[in-house]
Structure 1
């Protein structure tokens, strides 16, 4: 763990904003009494990401405005549906993970009832445990697929988990298609 910054979170936000407005790292570092490398380490990656996203928004808005009005409406509706799919799959993953947890707990409580000296005498309980475990594994599939789709994405400290789990509508749509093909 590194040493504590001598700047507050608000000061770092101000530095980030000023970098985005085009001020030089050197001038900002001098004003705040810190090194340029501190700025580079703390906020430059975020600034680059913000600029990249802003450029993507501009490119997307230009591409959208180049379409005929009816195609713009269709594109907006499709984007809305993709966001909805992403949100619903994230919720399904959350519920599925909770269901998997509950079913696993039930299976575990059934395991406690098994006679260790003669486990085969509890065949009915073993079948119940197998069924509960299978259902728990099936319930967790959506959550696991979403996590796998996002395993290369770092979770930001202030980013809500649902956003990371759902990542993008495109990821969610791909996972949904894969799941439908598996059935």
Structure 2
């Protein structure tokens, strides 16, 4: 755990505002008598992201304004519908996660019905079948939420396999090694 910052939240907000406007972290660090590293740690890539989003918004607004009024109405309607779909999917993911949690809990409770001494008797087989069905349903219910989570994270693909590296260790005979300058 690091030490408490010597700056107030108001000062940090001022630094962030000025970074976004284009001032350098170095000059702000000097002015506020903190390290550049402290500024980078606090804001990381956030200021670049803010600038990128602001530029995208300006480009979108410019392109939107260039459209005829009827096309602007169509674009706004489509954007609203896309937002609505997104909200419905988020809610479906939330409900699906809750359903998955409940079904997994029921399946977990069913495990108690399995006879450890005779796991393949008729009652245990029925419980195992119920557990399998409940688990499959729970996994299916969680699918929308899991897909949304994957879409919002940088998930390494199958192609991102680490390159194997060969490590060679050599042994020298210290008695035969000559360190005297020539």
TM-score past 0.5 threshold: yes
Q: CA deviation at 1:107?
A: 0.6
- Unaligned 5+ runs, structure 2: 156-182
Which 4+ runs in 1 deviate beyond 4 A? none
Q: Which has the higher helix share?
A: 1
> 1-side partners of 2:153 and 2:69: how far apart?
38
> 2-side partners of 1:35 and 1:5: how far apart?
11
> 1-side partners of 2:25 and 2:151: how far apart?
36
TM-score, normalising length: structure 1? 0.76
Does the 8 Å CA contact 1:12/1:43 hold for their aligned counterparts? Answer: no
Choose the corresponding residue for 1:136, options 129, 133, 138.
138
- Unaligned 5+ runs, structure 1: 154-183
> 2-side partners of 1:106 and 1:63: how far apart?
53
2:46 aligned partner: 46
Mapping for residues 26-105 of structure 1, pairs under 5 Å: 26-43=26-43, 45-105=45-105
> 2-side partners of 1:99 and 1:106: how far apart?
11
Does the 8 Å CA contact 1:26/1:36 hold for their aligned counterparts? Answer: yes
SS at match of 2:37: helix
Q: CA deviation at 1:143?
A: 0.9
Question: How many correspondences in the alignment?
Answer: 153
Q: CA RMSD in A?
A: 1.9
Q: CA deviation at 1:43?
A: 2.1
Does the 8 Å CA contact 1:103/1:133 hold for their aligned counterparts? Answer: yes
Q: Would the alpha carbon gap of residues 29 and 124 (structure 1) be closer, same or farther in structure 2, given more than 3 Å must change?
A: same
Q: CA deviation at 1:49?
A: 0.9
Q: Work out which of the two has the higher radius of gyration on C-alpha atoms and give 1 or 2.
A: 2
TM-score, normalising length: structure 2? 0.76
CA deviations on 1:89-133 (whole Å, 9 max, x unpaired) are 111111101110110100110111111111222222222212111
Q: CA deviation at 1:26?
A: 3.7
